[in-house]
Structure 1
Amino acid sequence: MIRYDVTDAVTTITLDRPDAMNSLTVEVKAALLEALRRAAADETIRAVLLTGSGRAFCAGQDLREHAENLEAGRGLAGTVREHYNPIVELITTMAKPVIAAVNGVAAGAGASLAFACDLRLASERAKFAMAFSGIGLAPDSGASWTLQRLVGPARATELLILGEPLDAARALELGVVSRVVPADELLKTAHELAVRLAQGPTQAYAATKRAIAYAATHSLTDSLEVEARLQDSLAATGDHLNATRAFLSKKAPVFTGK
């Protein structure tokens, strides 16, 4: 259902329902949220890698479970507010970098999970499908917020309304992903990137996430003030002091996240 593995200060969280294309049931969503909370709270974890098993990253909501809820008159059964929203908020606000390794199909809420991550690497077999309109729904799981910040409002509107899939090459062209690699190299490449980030100035990464999120909805004047506050706090860290000393000594800095 969910695999949680730790190597080199990196947690790899794997959606593990390959026979169902890693679609999201209530049980899976609860387990994913718990895994993300565990990673966020663990000070020894400095980067998070999210991926899927088998041929899909995540096909989104499990439609069999959803259909049962509809037939029983339960509608969405509160899953957007109770499950998807907390998952996406945690990914986007976590004080450590989160990387999506998109190994295959990422559809609906599955695509939204990838969009919420800080960085996205894709297999050449990856495909993104904003499937909401195809079943008479609007986007959820933050897609209306994240996708337009990746590709712009006009392109996001097109993708969300038409629901036409993006292959890996087109996703790279539009800026949805930052890199496309051969399928058999994806996890290795993504883990190497995660380790690189885990060895970096993680407090600075967290502050960068905060600054970008704030600036997206505030004025330049307000954003400048937030940047100043964040810089003041980072200037007091051991990582900044040690990195400055290392630079002056022409040595490579060693970051501890403190």
Structure 2
Amino acid sequence: MTSHVLLERRGAIARLTLNRPEKLNVLGAEMVSELRTYLAELGADPAVRVVILEGAGKAFMAGGDVVNFYANLPHMPKLIRTWATAFHDVIQDLRSMPKPVLAKVHGAVAGGGLSVMMACDLAIAAEGTKFTLAYANIGTSPDGGSTHFLPRAIGARRALELALITDPFDAARACELGLVNWVVPDAELDARTTEIATRLANGPTEAYARTKALIGATFDRTMAEQLAAEVESFSACAGTHDFAEGVTAFVEKRKPRFEGK
């Protein structure tokens, strides 16, 4: 049986590839299950310090499997509770991953694909990438955390524009809105992704994990609560090997050699 997600490890960099290229990597139960398994494995592996998430073939992810929706129309209200709940576990796994996750996107990034990309910490897009929220085109509201991520990233009014109007937009617009961090020529996507991932893999992994947690929680806290959380996080980092190395390297005027611990 063909795996719907492929895992490749190269040193401290793990690469997860969505592998339904014949269907533009649309979500299915097998893909969701395999993603959960791999994300748990990589999150617990101290040898992995950064994860790249990408799509095989012509697209990153074209959203949900609408053909499957059609085949199960009479049962969809019940089925979608099961399917969407499992999908949302993947979104939570990406957000709680204790190391950076870099989305490498190209081709179509639609519906749930946009949600998955936004659940990653950083995103790099090929110039030719096309984005759309698309849910309204099939008569439903978004899932996958889109209604959580978008208003925080671009404001409620622009989030409503993307959700209600659903016009596709290009990579330059996605970067302008703050949905992706970098846009590169299609031919340079692989090299630039590897360059960024290598930089992250050589960084202070524990500090990255705590920074992710702080920024992820900030909208649910008062300023006083966030300040207290920053103190606790900084204090914990101060006991790590990488903090000692970073401080020592600063005093010795050299580049730090972080080990991710």
Counterpart of 1:76 in structure 2 is 80
Q: How far apart, in 1, do the equivalents of 2:48 and 2:143 lie?
A: 29
- Equivalent positions of 1:80-91 (< 5 A) are 80-81=84-85, 83-91=86-94
Counterpart of 1:50 in structure 2 is 53
* Counterpart AA for 1:38: E
User: After the TM superposition, which of the residue ranges 145-154 and 55-64 deviates more from structure 2?
Assistant: 145-154
Q: How far apart, in 1, do the equivalents of 2:253 and 2:233 lie?
A: 26
* Counterpart AA for 2:65: D
Per-residue displacement from partner, 1:172-222 (whole Å, max 9, x unpaired)? Answer: 111111111111211221122111101101111111111111111111011
2:21 is equivalent to residue 15 of structure 1: no
Q: Aligned match of 1:94 in 86, 92, 97?
A: 97
Counterpart of 1:2 in structure 2 is 5
Q: How far apart, in 2, do the equivalents of 1:183 and 1:71 lie?
A: 42
Cα offset, 1:72, TM superposition = 4.3
Q: Report if aligned partners of 1:21, 1:55 keep a CA contact under 8 Å in 2.
A: yes
Counterpart of 2:145 in structure 1 is 142
Counterpart of 2:188 in structure 1 is 185
Tell me the SS of whatever aligns to 1:216.
Answer: helix
Q: How far apart, in 2, do the equivalents of 1:32 and 1:51 lie?
A: 12
Structure 2 unaligned residues grouped into runs of 5+: none
Cα offset, 1:150, TM superposition = 1.9
Residues 117/96 of structure 1: CA separation in 2 closer, same or farther (3 Å cut): same
Q: How far apart, in 2, do the equivalents of 1:75 and 1:35 lie?
A: 24
2:170 is equivalent to residue 172 of structure 1: no
Q: Aligned match of 2:258 in 249, 255, 258?
A: 255
2:244 is equivalent to residue 244 of structure 1: no
Q: TM-score, normalised by structure 1?
A: 0.96
2:224 is equivalent to residue 217 of structure 1: no
Per-residue displacement from partner, 1:106-127 (whole Å, max 9, x unpaired)? Answer: 1111110001110010001111
* Counterpart AA for 1:46: R
Q: TM-score, normalised by structure 2?
A: 0.95
Q: How far apart, in 1, do the equivalents of 2:145 and 2:75 lie?
A: 27
* Counterpart AA for 1:159: L
Counterpart of 1:40 in structure 2 is 43
Identity percentage of aligned residues: 38
Tell me the SS of whatever aligns to 2:80.
Answer: coil
Q: Report if aligned partners of 1:69, 1:77 keep a CA contact under 8 Å in 2.
A: no
* Counterpart AA for 1:111: L
* Counterpart AA for 1:12: R
Tell me the SS of whatever aligns to 1:200.
Answer: coil
Cα offset, 1:71, TM superposition = 3.5
Structure 1 unaligned residues grouped into runs of 5+: none
- Give the aligned CA root-mean-square deviation in angstroms: 1.2
Per-residue displacement from partner, 1:119-161 (whole Å, max 9, x unpaired)? Answer: 0100011111101111111111111111222212221121112
Cα offset, 1:75, TM superposition = 4.1
Q: How far apart, in 2, do the equivalents of 1:186 and 1:148 lie?
A: 28
2:161 is equivalent to residue 158 of structure 1: yes
Q: How far apart, in 2, do the equivalents of 1:156 and 1:216 lie?
A: 17
Q: Aligned match of 2:210 in 207, 210, 229?
A: 207
Q: How far apart, in 2, do the equivalents of 1:53 and 1:187 lie?
A: 12
* Counterpart AA for 1:245: T
Q: How far apart, in 2, do the equivalents of 1:196 and 1:250 lie?
A: 19
